[in-house]
Structures are given as structure tokens and as C-alpha cells.
Amino acid sequence: MMDADGLSRANLQLPPLLQRMQAVIEHIEAHLHEALPMAELAVVSGLSQWHFQRVFHACLGETVKTYIRQRRLSQAAHSLLHSRRSVLEIALCAGFDSNEAFTRAFRAWAGCTPRAWRQGQGVTEQALLPRFKAQIGQDYLQHLNENLQLEPDLRYQPAQQIVGFTRRLQLQGAGVDLLAMLAPCWREWRSRLEEIPHRSDTRVCLILELLAMSDTACQLQVWLGAPVNALGRLPSGMACVDRPAGWQAVFQHKGAGPAWEYTMQYIFGAWLPRSNCQLAPVPGLCLFAPEQAPFEAAPVLEYCLPLLSSSS
């Protein structure tokens, strides 16, 4: 049974954040044959685009774009078997510009062409309904057991000023290794961090702020610097960013390679949904000693996730 707001009664038993993800899934289903810009889906979720994509990926194990594409292909497969519409008409309805593009995508998804599927070759009725699927393997469990503080410290952080370097990055396509892209910046800037006056912490801050996003690219503002307790004359080439006061969940993280993705999956897919905390519209912050930076062989850092309020 559905309530007036479109959520099933069973879904109302989910934690609030997962209710929002289910609302997004149902919105996608209701508008599957229309454009579904990321900004629109983020509004439905009540999160920023950056946080929405993290939470969605952690809950479903795939990106928003991949999920929508699979749902459209699944509906196309159903139409091929249960309607008399032409392959081209079905392709256009699924959001593809041509029969050729649809055939390539369909073959990659189903293992055969649309025409072969319609003729009953290789049909397995992949229903790909909305679902929450955990992607938990032995490496993930070992990481949670050895390298991550599962319950964060909830701290109130006074307003901060961070002085350092900033750079705008344009990322194209999926699967970009962001740390590899940032490593040259780290090598360039690390030697100059000692020039920052009035430092309130010997550690270094890394902030990634999402500025713009499309289906094929995103633009990030990268900040790398140190918190200060007074703002004097800025060293050449440096800038200052202000961070508002507020609560934050502070996680202790260790490990390189896939460890960071495991941490993000846990925070946004497990801890956040059951915490009932609400995210503040402020980018997260990594805090680390220079020799334990994310770009080094054995990273150790604090990940500070801004919240609207403490749940305690």
C-alpha cells in the first residue's frame, strides 16, 4: 500500500536517510523516460549533489548514472518481449539517440542484441528492481575491523580559517583516480606549508568541494592547507577559506588503495543511515600529518563530516 507521499508503509520503517534514497528510486521509476539531471535527484534526496551520490552509491553499490541506465535497459528488455513497438522506438524511449547506440549498450548489458532478445535468445528476464544491495567482502570486513573507527567522535567545531593552496579540477568520465590527480599538487605544495603563519595545528587539511556536475564531468575545488588562529599576511600564491562553526562526526581512518572507498561506503551506507544525523551543506575535511597524507604509502587521517546537529 502506498501513502499520499508516494512511499510504501514498509519503507516508513527504514531509517530517514534510506527513506530518502527510496524516494529517489521511486522518483526515477516515475520519470524514467524523462531527463533525470543530478541536481533534480539531489533535491528529492534532500542532500547536496556530492553527498547524494556518495550515499546512493553506498546503498545500491552502483552510481546514479549506471542505475538509471540499467533500469532503462531493463524496461526496454520487457518492451521487446511484451510489445510490438519497433526496436528504434524502444531505443528512443530508453533515452538512446540511435538504434546503433542502443544495440551496443543492450548487448553489453544482456549479452545479445535487442532483436535476438526479442526472438528469445539468451533471455533471463533481468528484473533489476530497486533494491539495497550490500557489497561486503572479506577485504571490506577486515578494513572495518582493523583500520576504521566505526563510531565517530561527535565534536562541536568552532569557526575555522584555513590558509593554503587551492586549485580547480575538471574530471571527465567515471573511474578517475582522484588521489593520483592530486599527488602532483601535494608534491608541489608540501614544501611550502611551513610558510603558513599562526598555525593552530601541525597537521594538514584537505578539502574537496563540488562546484558543478553533469552526467559526464564534474568540477572540484581542492584546498590543501592548515588551520590558523589568526589571519596575517598571506604567503605568495596562498588563499584563505572560512569554515562555519558546527557539529561534525570525526572518523579515524587508516589504509591506502581501496581502503578509502571502503571507509566512504561504511560512513555513507551504514553509519549515516542509522545515526539519524543530518548532513550540513559543507564539504568534509581530511586532517593528517604530512608524513601520513593520503598520497603517501600508509595514510592515517581524521575524516570530519559536518552535521547540522549532534544526534546525542
Say yes or no: 76 and 149 in one domain.
no
Say yes or no: 114 and 142 in one domain.
no
128 within a domain of the structure (yes/no): no
Say yes or no: 190 and 246 in one domain.
yes
Tens-place pLDDT, residues 122-144: 544 333 333 333 444 667 767 87
36 within a domain of the structure (yes/no): no
Of 88, 118, 148, the position where a domain reaches its end is: 118
157 within a domain of the structure (yes/no): yes
Q: Rounded CA gap, 218 and 50, in Å?
A: 10
* CATH (domain of 274): 3.20.80.10
Per the structure, the complete domain to which residue 221 belongs is given by: 138-307
Cell reading at 112: 545479445
pLDDT score, position 226: 95
What's the CA dihedral at 157, 246, 178, 224 to 10 degrees? -50
* CATH (domain of 72): 1.10.10.60
Say yes or no: 112 and 155 in one domain.
no
pTM: 0.69
221 within a domain of the structure (yes/no): yes
Say yes or no: 88 and 218 in one domain.
no
Total number of domains constituting the chain? 2
Say yes or no: 175 and 255 in one domain.
yes
pLDDT along the chain (312 residues), means of 10: 40 66 88 91 91 83 83 86 89 90 85 82 41 51 82 95 92 70 87 92 91 71 93 92 95 89 82 80 92 90 88 54
Output the CA–CA distances (angstroms, integers) from residue 10 to 2, 14, 127, 201, 217, in the order listed: 9, 8, 21, 48, 36
147, 255 in Cβ contact below 8 A?
yes
42 within a domain of the structure (yes/no): no
37 within a domain of the structure (yes/no): no
39 within a domain of the structure (yes/no): no
Q: Rounded CA gap, 223 and 242, in Å?
A: 11
Say yes or no: 202 and 165 in one domain.
yes
pLDDT score, position 122: 52
pLDDT score, position 11: 46
Tens-place pLDDT, residues 224-235: 999 999 988 999
184 within a domain of the structure (yes/no): yes
